[in-house]
Amino acid sequence: MDCVFCKIARKEIKVEVVYENDNFLAFPDAHPICKGHTLIIPKKHFSNLLDLPEILGSELLDAIKKVAEIRLKSGAGGFNIIVNNGSAAGQAVMHSHLHLVPRKRGEQVKFKTI
């Protein structure tokens, strides 16, 4: 498969791994909207969040919590979780993923379609 996130999951494209478990991988966004902007992807290809099997839901939530803890230790006071599901919603890579965007109080972040 020619999917860029599949290539990252297979370690064909090198990225800084922020967090990894059996089914998910987290790494910095290539075009961050702020410091610490991180993508969390399933290692297997699913086109969008609706295709992700329910059985992976708790493992995804655990990955979100682990990445959030890492980013909060780096000085963030909170975070946003953004999922662009489908091209109409701005999903550019058709491999399910979410954006964890660390936030600091008073920080101005432009939320464009990411």
Known catalytic residues?
Answer: 97
Measure the CA–CA gap between 68 and 38, rounded to whole angstroms.
9
CA distance linking residue 45 with residue 34, whole number of Å = 27
Joined together, the tokens standing for residue 82 give 């953004």
Count helices and strands (H / E) in the chain.
Answer: 2, 5
